[in-house]
Amino acid sequence: MKQVFIFCLLLCAASSLFALDLSIGIGAEVNANTRSGAAAGGILSFGLELNDLFSAGLVTAFSHNFDSVFTLEPRAFFRYYLPFKIDGLFAQAEFGTSIFIEEDSAYPAVSGGIAAGWRYLINQNFYIEPYLRAGYPFIWGAGLTGGIILPLTKESANSGGRE
């Protein structure tokens, strides 16, 4: 089953390489990366738009509870834009690690979760994305990112990015 899934992903990516766009975003997030209450921090993301439905990339987030817990979260994501004739609605799977730093000690943990959000295209090159996420070990998160879409091919540049 695992090989079939990987084959389907590779086939999807290979069949749509002509439509690649690179998106780079920064943002802010509030999450539960703390022993109690909430933590706040920032995000830096890099995504590759594989076609009109799929995107994959890397996200690095950091957060601090303004007391004793600092968290660094490097993770990979795979995004699916839902085809409901509602532009921008997405579901996303994430997998990576969380590194908790507390009182001069670091504690790594496997991190995984799901996210849902909406990509608002301001124009063909700029976007904002509000989102909610849930998973382990952060339990919940909510954030807002903004970024730029850079077309990597002539076909992608002419079409104005993801429609």
- The CATH number of the domain holding residue 107 is 2.40.160.20
Least Cα distance to 55 among 85, 14, 92 occurs for 92
Domain annotation covers residue 78: yes
Domain annotation covers residue 23: yes
Residue range(s) defining the domain that contains residue 95: 19-153
Domain annotation covers residue 4: no
Q: How far is 76 from 105, CA to CA, in rounded Å?
A: 25
Neighbours of 22 (CB within 10 A): 16
Structural domains in the chain (count)? 1
Domain annotation covers residue 3: no
Per-residue pLDDT of 19-65, as tens digits, reads: 588 999 999 999 998 888 899 999 999 999 888 889 999 999 999 99
Mean pLDDT over residues 118-132, rounded? 94
pTM of the shown model: 0.80
Domain annotation covers residue 67: yes
What's the pLDDT band for 5 if we cut at 50, 70, 90? low
